[in-house]
Amino acid sequence: MDGGRDMIPPSWIAGLAAILFGIGLWGAITRKNAIIILMSVEIMLNAVNLNFVAGAFLHQDATGWMFAVFSIAIAAAEVAVGLAIFLALYDQHGTIALDEVQVLKH
């Protein structure tokens, strides 16, 4: 890694990560469609990855990148599981609009 060239300041990266996280969170809370929520969760994960990378830049440490790679792998697995759950949900309730599925309501 060359330390002398003009780098992107890590704080900007972290800032972008924060914005992305916020967008993802807003989407996860507000959207009805289950798949959109899944996408929002992905965005959140992406933001976290960015945060790791920013950290790696800041501390000149390769550990950050490793964490990011793990995180991507886990995100992929999680999407698979989530889609499987949504399929089962559709089978049960005929819809994937999560505001209509209120099974846990007291």
Partner 1 sequence: MTELHPYVVFIPLLPMLAFPVILILGQLFNNREWWRKGLKEGGWIAVITLGISLIFTLLLLAEVWDFETVEGKTYAPDEGHITYTWLEHTRMVETENGSFEFVELDSTHERWSIDFGFQIDHLSMTILFVAAFLCFLIAWFSLGYMNTDESNAGRLHRFYAEFALFSSAMMGMVLADSFLWLFIFWEIMGLCSYLLIGFYYERPSAASAAKKAFLTTRVGDVFLLIGLLMLFDQFGTLSYERMDHILQENGAMLSVDVIRAALILLFVGAVGKSAQFPLHVWLPDAMEGPTPVSALIHAATMVNAGLYLVARMFPIVAAESMLHNLEIVGIIIAWIGGITALMAAAIAFVQMDLKRVLAYSTMSQLAYIFVGLGVGLWAANTGHEELALLSFGAAIFHLFNHAMAKGMLFMASGSVIHEMHHAHHHIDDGDEHDDFDAQSMENMGGLGSKMPITTVAMAIGSASIIGLPLIGGFWSKEGIIGAAWESLLVSGGLVMLVPAILVVLTAAMTGFYMTRMWAWTFLGRPRSEVAAHVKESTPFIRLPLQVLTIVTLLGIVLFGMGMDSTMVDGTFSNHGHDSDHHGFTDIIIGALTGHGHAYNAIVAWTTIFLSSVIGPLYALRIYGRPLPQDEYLPNSFTLITPLLTNRSHYDNSKWANSKVANALRRRLYFDEVYDWAVMKFITGGAMLAALFDKKAIDGLIRKMSSTTLRASNFMRSLTTGRATDYLVMVGLGVMALGLLLLPGAI
Using CB under 8 A, list all residues that contact partner 1.
25, 28-31, 37, 98-99, 101-106
d(CA 61, CA 56): 5
**Sign for the pseudo-dihedral over CA of 49, 55, 57, 59:** negative
Return the number of the residue (1 or 104) whose C-beta is nearest partner 1.
104
- Rounded least distance, CB 6 to partner 1, Å: 32
Return the number of the residue (5 or 105) whose C-beta is nearest partner 1.
105
Query: CA 33, 104, 95, 91: dihedral to nearest 10 degrees?
Result: 130
- Rounded least distance, CB 70 to partner 1, Å: 20
